[in-house]
């Protein structure tokens, strides 16, 4: 009896060792396949290295890394999920497509897509493609889309068609915005035909000193303006934001229980001074969650506390640099 018991004890010990060895092998194998883990979700970050943040979402108010599923759950009931992007960045547009897919899964038949690159006069072409009345080549021709648009943004349009997601062409036509930048808003409004006037806001919001300073700060480094150009260029930027805000407000007036994924350049959503502020003038109680996308190099130090203090956004999704930049380095 004692010998049998001893044999069982030896076998049990061997089984435990084998189980521990197996689990250790599985864990090591999984770790080998995974990228380095992001900072722990319960860790509050004041600053962080780019290598820690690439591919992660951070809630700025708490400076905590947030799992993607938890992010979707947090924003899915908002009327607007506003993603401020860097244009033509494959990782960022892939993130946007992932968000659109997740929202469609979370809120079936209650999600719409709105895009800065799609302008109000393009809506018939957008609707025709979504209805299956035209193919991709016809869609590209009708909206005069560049190859870059088709590469980076058409996957969003294509998924919207497949998932029966309406798309809002929300921006001012470029031809009108260019005219405003040259002639001024008042001159354009007085001279355009009624059909074109319909592509501008029904009423124009006042340009605040904060918006003017925000615009000039945003363009000063890359597009210096002569003093005589400033007023009309500010008007051109503002009329685009005003149009996009009105487009969102009009959609939500018809469908207040829907969620719109709105995609535009970071300027239009960051700091809450452009589209979000103008949208609240139309709908003071609209619910908006703002996500900004930010490219960071692996060795870069990111001051998260400072970004939170500036109220840059509700969430930041950190992307690696553009592949072309990575290749150059």
The pLDDT-based confidence of 39 (bands split at 50, 70, 90) is: very low
The reply to whether 129 falls in a domain is yes
Burial of 284 (0-12, 13-18, 19+ CB in 10 A): exposed
What tokens appear for 258 in the block?
């829907």
Rg of the chain (C-alpha set): 25
Beta strands 57-59 and 315-319, pairing class: antiparallel
- Residue 136 lies in domain: 79-286
pLDDT band at 44 (very low <50, low <70, confident <90, very high): confident
Q: What are the structure tokens assigned to 236, written together?
A: 């051109």
The residue whose two tokens read 């036509």 is: 173
> Is residue 166 domain-shared with residue 29, that is, in the same domain?
no
The DSSP element (H or E) to which 48 belongs, if any, is strand 47-49
Domain identity same for 94 and 183: yes
pLDDT tens, residue by residue, 56-67: 999 999 999 999
**Shortest CA distance to 71 belongs to which of 85, 86, 89, 55?**
55
Question: Do residues 91 and 186 both lie within one domain?
Answer: yes
CB atoms within 10 A of CB 153: 22
Could you tell me if residue 19 is inside a domain? yes
10 and 116 co-located in one domain: no
Q: Note the pLDDT tens digit of each residue in 258-302.
A: 999 999 999 999 999 999 999 999 999 999 999 999 999 999 999
Looking at the structure, do residues 160 and 11 belong to the same domain, yes or no?
A: no
- Edge-to-edge strand order for the sheet containing 64-66? 64-66, 57-59, 315-319, 288-295, 80-85, 259-265, 111-119, 167-171
Structurally, the chain folds into a number of domains equal to: 2
- Residue 111 belongs to some domain of the structure: yes
Residue 22 pLDDT > 90: no
């Amino acid at each position: 009896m004692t010998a049998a018991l001893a044999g069982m004890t030896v076998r049990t010990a061997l089984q435990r060792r084998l189980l521990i060895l197996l689990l250790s092998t599985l864990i090591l194998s999984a770790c080998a396949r995974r990228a380095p883990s992001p900072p722990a979700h319960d860790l509050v970050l004041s600053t962080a290295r780019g290598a820690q943040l690439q591919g992660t979402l951070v809630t700025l108010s708490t400076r905590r890394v947030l799992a993607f599923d938890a992010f979707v759950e947090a924003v899915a009931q908002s009327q607007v999920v506003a993603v401020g992007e860097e244009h033509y960045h494959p990782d960022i547009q892939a993130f946007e497509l992932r968000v659109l897919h997740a929202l469609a899964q979370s809120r079936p038949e209650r999600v719409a897509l709105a895009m800065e690159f799609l302008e109000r006069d393009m809506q018939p072409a957008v609707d025709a493609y979504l209805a299956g009345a035209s193919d991709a080549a016809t869609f590209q021709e009708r909206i005069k889309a560049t190859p870059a648009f088709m590469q980076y943004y058409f996957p969003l349009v294509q998924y919207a068609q497949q998932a029966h997601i309406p798309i809002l062409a929300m921006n001012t036509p470029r031809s009108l915005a260019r005219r405003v930048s040259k002639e001024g808003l008042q001159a354009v409004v007085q001279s355009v035909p009624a059909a074109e006037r319909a592509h501008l806001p029904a009423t124009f919001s006042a340009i605040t000193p904060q918006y003017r300073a925000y615009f000039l700060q945003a363009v000063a480094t890359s597009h210096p303006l002569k003093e005589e150009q400033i007023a009309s260029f500010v008007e051109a930027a503002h009329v685009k934001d005003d149009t996009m805000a009105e487009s969102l407000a009009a959609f939500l007036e018809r469908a207040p229980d829907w969620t719109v994924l709105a995609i535009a350049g970071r300027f239009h959503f960051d700091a809450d001074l452009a589209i979000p502020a103008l949208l609240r003038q139309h709908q003071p109680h609209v619910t908006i969650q703002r996500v900004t996308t930010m490219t960071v190099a692996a060795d870069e130090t990111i001051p998260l506390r400072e970004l939170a203090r500036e109220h840059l956004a509700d969430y930041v999704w950190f992307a690696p640099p553009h592949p072309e930049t990575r290749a150059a380095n």
